[in-house]
Each structure stands twice: as C-alpha cells, then as structure tokens.
Amino acid sequence: MVDRQAAEAGIELVRGSRLSVGLHVVLDSRGELLVPPEDAPRELERQLVRFEELVGRAPSHVDSHHHIHRDPRVLPAFLAFADRHALPLRDHSIAHHRPMFYGRWDDTSHVEQVSVDSLLGILDGIGDGATEIGCHPGYAQGLNSRYKGRARVRAADADGPACPGTGGRERHRADRVSPAVTVTLDALAREAGTFLMVAMDQRESLRTMLAQHGHDATDERMVRFKLAVARELAPYASGFLIDRHFGYREIVRDRLVPPSTGLILAADALEQPPGGVVEDTDLDEGVDAETARENGVVALKLLIVWRDDERRARRVETARRFVELAHAHGLLSVLEPVVRAENREDAIVEAARELGGIGCDLYKCEVPTHGAGEPEEITEWSRKIDSAVPCPWVVLSQGVDPDRYPMAVEAACRGGASGMLAGRAVWTATLGADDPTDLLRKHSVPRLRELGEIVDRHGRPWCEKGGAS
C-alpha cells in the first residue's frame, strides 16, 4: 500500500533482505472505486512506479486491498498489468490463496480463526503446488494497528480451538471428509467462512422459464444465458454451480469462473417432463469426476427428490453412492434434497435428519414456508433443520419470492444456516432480456452483494458446525 503513512518505515524493515515483497494495490474505499474503471491502468502503473521508488526493485507479485482486482470492472486492467510486467496476480497464478487466517473482515474480528488449530486445519487442506496464506499484523510493543485487539486475544489463547466447542476445522475434515479429499469447504466459502454461491445448473426448468419470457428456448439460448451469468456473477460469488450439458465446457475452456470461486458440477440425472417439475433423480453416469477435478471443479452436487414412498431407501443409497463418488476423486459433496410431501416443513426436517448424516460435506436445503412465513417462523424451522443435519448447510431459492429471499436467507442464517446456494432469486429478473448482461450488472450484482452482507453478518462460519458424532 505504497501511499499509506507507514509505507517507508515498512520498507526499511525488509531493505537488504531476501524477503519477497508484493504490490498491494489500493483502488477502492469500502468497496467504492477511487478512480473510474478506464483510469485503472494508469493508476496501477503509478503505484508500481512508487513501489519501485520505495523498494528499489520490482514487486514479486501483485494483489489488491479488499480484493478489488476481482471486480469485473477493473479485473481486465489488472490482468493486462500483470501480464505486461510478468507479475503473478492473486487468483490468476499457480499459487492458491488460503484466506481464513486473517482474523478480521467486514470490520469484525474473528479471533477464533487465528490459532494453532486453525492454522493446522488450513495446512491440512493444502494440496499440491504453491499456496499463499495471508495474515494481518500481529501484536507487538508500540504497534498501533486496528488488528491488535484481536491479536492480543490470540496471544493469550494460542492453543484455543479454531471453532469453539467443535474442535474446529481439523475435526470437521477428520470426521466428515474422506482421506482422498485434499480440499476443505474453504474452497467454496467467503473469507468469513460463509457461503454465497450461485446456481446455474437448471436444465428443462430454465428452458421453460425462457419460453415463458417469450424466447425461443433453444440449447444455444440456454448456453448463452448461462455463460452471461457466469461471466457477470461468478467473480462476486464464493461458488458457482453448473451442469455438464449447457455451458460447462465453455466455462472451463474460457475460464469464466475465477480461481477464487469454487466450481461445482451437478452430478444428477433428472427425470423431468417438458414444462414440469423434477419427478426423480439418479446419479449421472456421464459425469467424469476425475476429468472434472482436472478442470478445476472442487465439488459435485446431487439433487435428491425426497418422498416417503417405496423408493425412499433407494434414494438414500443413491445419496451414499454420490458421496463416495465425490470423495473417491478428491471432491467435496453437496447434497440437495427437495421434498414432496403434504406436511412440507416436517418433511424438510425429516429429510435433513435422514440424508444429512450420510457423510456429505455441505447440505443444500429448501427455505421453510417457501419464505412466505414471518422471519421468526422461518428461523424456528431452521433451528430444527440445524439440529437434524450434522454438517454445514445453506438454503436454495426455488419457490421463494425473489423480493423476500434476502429476508429468508437472514432468517435461515439466524437459525444456523451458513449461507446460500441459489439461482432464481438472483437472476430471474434478467430472463426477459435478449442479452442479460446489462440487467445482471444493474440488478443481480447488487442483489448478490446484499446477500453477501447478510450471510457474513448472520451466517454461521462453516467450521463452527460440529462434525459427525
């Protein structure tokens, strides 16, 4: 941060050493750009010149304050800058960034994240290749830092668990993830340990929605819509869900989902008549999990239609096979049951109790009352779900009025949810446009930012949810 007051003093501490020093670009103030996007290239060059004046050499790498380089408005400038100067750029180099050791984000201290157990949990989840672990300033005599209160607490409790009462991140991996899996839920989470994930794996349902908005809902139209959503929303999401039929190949080929966003591949074959709802599902035998992992996929997702009928046991067994498939290939498993029952809310809780305990890493749940109830009612049902499911869980948005979805997410998070994995509540308003790009930027991006604030403020960090007993 070359323009900050302590920059020169900080450089004196490393002058003459072999320590790598990177350029931490500042282009925003609390999320608002300090310069117009078209002026970003000039500002990047100015800060590089100032860096070289201070340090006496080129930076070893480049990243940005508040990760502003992930903003689609300035990301092209950062990519061109990094390429021009041959600088590794965070999220776009061989190094994988692990952010959970910071201990402070959104102006809130998370003292539980800065501990021996937390660091060991991060190290336990590191795979092959280079890894970057970030840390804010610690505590020292005379240090005047916004982080020193958090650091002082950790200095007094260095042996405390990463997640109070649960044994933290390390226990979750040991209890719930196969030894073959070298990735943790950090791969799908925000820095706060919560989830803000976009679903774009709809197939015949999307075709129906496009037709209802007056479009000729061809395969090409569906792919085009999905790619626009990926391009515009993935940089703001912690995870992005896609199916293999419509858009997956292009997303992988064109790298539309940035490395900072966990890519999830749907592994479900749907029984769904044209214009109708999904009647049943099975494992998609066409999903190549090994190739998916090579393509950067970090998790698989399976939709299960839960009914109390003669096929109930078979569906549970399908869910078990799915978890085994994901873990055997080093991938996380996301299980998404939707219920078909007269007493819907009771069935949601029963499905969570039955399916949540089979070993999935993340449970994707329907919103109680379809979000139509009062917040207190949604929270009460969410507490029952939370008691039933032993792993972290998030809510979907199908059947929820998009205008009520932020309220529903907050209510669910107050009841124990760790965030959301949703599509319709985020991008439905853009379906009518021939090219949804402008509406995605004007409507969906602000909605996603709003939901991000909600999940970080009210959601439970995933590592605080206890492992299987």
Residues designated catalytic: 364
> Measured in whole angstroms, how far is the alpha carbon of residue 420 from the centre of its chain?
9
Point out which residues pair with 195 in neighbouring strands.
Answer: 419
Question: C-alpha dihedral over 239, 243, 247, 249, to 10 degrees?
Answer: 90
Instruction: Give the Cα separation of 124 and 193 in Å (integer).
Output: 17
Q: Is the dihedral of CA 243, 336, 271, 326 positive or negative?
A: positive
Instruction: Give the Cα separation of 178 and 199 in Å (integer).
Output: 25
Instruction: Give the Cα separation of 136 and 168 in Å (integer).
Output: 21
Q: Are strands 280-283 and 268-271 parallel, antiparallel or unpaired?
A: antiparallel
C-alpha closest to that of 24 among 53, 72, 74, 59? 59
Radius of gyration of the chain from its Cα atoms, rounded to whole angstroms? 23
Residues belonging to the chain: 469
C-alpha closest to that of 338 among 280, 285, 405? 280
Q: Tell me the backbone φ, ψ of residue 109, rounded to 5 degrees.
A: -85, 140
Q: Please say whether the beta carbons of 263 and 228 come within 8 A.
A: no
Q: Please say whether the beta carbons of 371 and 406 come within 8 A.
A: no
Type of residue numbered 57? R
Residues near 422 by Cβ (< 8 Å), separated by ≥ 6? 197, 198, 199, 395, 396, 397, 405
Q: How many CA atoms, within 13 angstroms, populate the side-chain half-sphere of residue 333?
A: 33
